[in-house]
Amino acid sequence: MLVLRLLNVVAPAYFLCISLVTFVLQIFLFIPSMFRDPSTTPLFSPALLHGALFLFLSANALGNYVLVIQSSPEDLGKDLNLGKGGEVVDWLDGSRSPGSALPSTHFCRLCARVTQRHDHHCFFTGNCIGSRNMRNFIMFCLYTSLACLDSLVAGMAYISATLSMSFVDPLAFLTLLPHSISQFFSGALLSSEMFVILMLYLWLGIGLACAGFCCHQMLLILRGQTRYQVRKGMVVRARPWRENLQEVFGKRWLLGLLIPVLNVESDYRRQKEK
């Protein structure tokens, strides 16, 4: 448990550090290197277009990241009506008590809160993912993967121009790291260039991980399931996939794709306000 709590603090700091490094490299290294082409007009120059795209992706990724943290699970432990015929709730001491909570209600030991429609605990946000922040979490994964892909392409273009090498051959990227390490220790490669090359592989790994996680999460949403329900073997009521999507993304789904907006409120909150 101590290791998990430490990871819950270190992982968000690691993500913010990677985001800051990516922003600095894009603004002060990659984008200025694109201004070397004098044939393009300033309004439609690749540097300005790429800079606008990167700022759009970064703003959505960081905006949804903040909303995931702000839309934290509610402390519903006092509001649960413990009785017969309810769903099973996992409590802090490991006991399981029946209560009239929604399916997959779970008490997280790290958050010390009860989450409605609990999916999993995300260490990179230091928060549980449930009904209140599921949409923002998916948007965060989507735009993080796109921002990493954008940084990867810009970094490869910078390395290609700096080292006068081509990435037409797919094996060129795979063999880039071992060749760069040997050149770095022989003094033929600068430390800044070596750092960019290392970041290329980091962006590739983070981008693929976020994209795969986003696709897997969307598949579960279409089925009307959560990772917690799958792990516990819970049986969910079959519903049309459109209803499952609307439950998570709401009617303002198009707005949520363009700008970071708050997630739809949970069913429990709606029932409570009624």
pLDDT in tens, 45-96: 778 888 999 999 999 999 999 999 887 665 444 444 433 333 444 433 334 4
Q: Where is 129: in which H helix or E strand? A: strand 127-129
pLDDT in tens, 136-194: 999 999 999 999 999 999 999 999 989 888 888 878 898 999 999 999 998 888 999 99
Name the token pair of 11.
């992982």
Number of domains making up the chain: 1
What is the domain extent for residue 95?
Answer: 1-35+44-273
Average pLDDT over residues 227-236: 86
**Which of the 8 DSSP states describes residue 191?**
H
Mean pLDDT, the chain, whole residue set: 81
State yes or no: is 141 an active-site residue.
no
CA distance 269 to 250: 15
CA distance 174 to 163: 16
Which of 94-103, 151-160, 227-236, 239-248 has the highest average model confidence (pLDDT)? 151-160
Its pTM stands at 0.84
Are 102 and 272 spatial neighbours (Cβ–Cβ below 8 Å)?
Answer: no
Q: Which of 122, 128, 141, 214 is catalytic?
A: 122
Q: What are phi and psi of 113, to 5 degrees?
A: -140, 160
CA distance 271 to 274: 5
CA distance 265 to 29: 42
